[in-house]
Amino acid sequence: MGKCIAYTAGAITFLGIGALVTGLTLYIVYPNMRGGQQSTDEQMRYGMCDLRSADGLTQMGKIHFAQNSSESSTTITGTVAGLTAGAHGFHIHELGGTGDSCSDAGSHYNPADQSHGGPDSDERHVGDLGNIQSVGEGDTIAIVKIEDHQVSLSGKWSVMGRSVVVHALEDDLGASGDASGAAGARVACCTIYIINGA
């Protein structure tokens, strides 16, 4: 009888220690599980991109990125000088490279494997930001002011380290079915990098 109780007590202690060790191990190995569902990241983030002509020789403007939290839309502002007057396709491309006349930037950033579209299309690449309008004669200027819900500065689809590309022609926003909006040559590009403030 006494022996039986001792065995039972021993088994319970053994199981208890086992559960404790398992719990502690999980706690240490999977820190993300501590808070249950991962919460919104409230950190503000800022990015910058210094646009240069495709030959790398001419500065054409600065593009600023700001996002209030990981769930928030991203605001993209800036100016682009020296484009021909009219509409120019404006995209985020997959890679950060600017060499080889902006070819090193790769294709439109498209992590969800969608068709090309415009910023308001149901189906679009994350990088599809439509067109910017260059105005003036001689000293042309295009004002960039975009708020976009797909472009993010954090998370697995972050655009940090990718590139902005401005094209010679107007993006058709998917009308022709062309994978890059029939926007023609790349005339300017830059790599998006993290900065501390706006």
| Binding site residues, ligand NAG, CB under 6 A | 68, 72-73, 75, 147
Beta carbon nearer to ligand NAG, 59 or 75: 75
Interacting span for Zn ion (CB under 5 A) from 65-73, 119-127, 149-157, 183-191: 119-127
| 72-31-36 Cα angle (round to 5) | 60
Interacting span for Zn ion (CB under 5 A) from 26-34, 111-119, 132-140, 152-160: 111-119
Tokens, residue 185: 């040559």
Q: How many CB atoms lie within 10 A of CB 93?
A: 26
166 counts as binding Cu ion under rule CB under 5 A: no
For residue 107, the partner it binds in ligand NAG, Zn ion, Cu ion, none, with Cβ less than 5 to 8 A by kind, is none
116 counts as binding Zn ion under rule CB under 5 A: yes
Tokens, residue 21: 């060790």
Catalytic residue among 125, 148, 162, 171: 125
Whether 117 contacts 174, CB under 8 Å: yes
Q: Give the shortest CB-32-to-Cu ion separation in angstroms.
A: 35
For the chain, the distance separating the N- and C-terminal CA atoms, rounded to the nearest angstrom, is 76
Catalytic residue among 45, 88, 162, 167: 167
**Which of 45, 88, 93, 108 touches Zn ion (CB under 5 A)?**
108
- From CA 51, how far away is CA 192, in angstroms rounded? 10
SS3 category, 190: strand
Whether 105 contacts 97, CB under 8 Å: yes
For residue 128, the partner it binds in Zn ion, Cu ion, ligand NAG, none, with Cβ less than 5 to 8 A by kind, is Zn ion
Q: Among all residues, which ones are annotated catalytic?
A: 91, 93, 108, 116, 125, 128, 167, 186
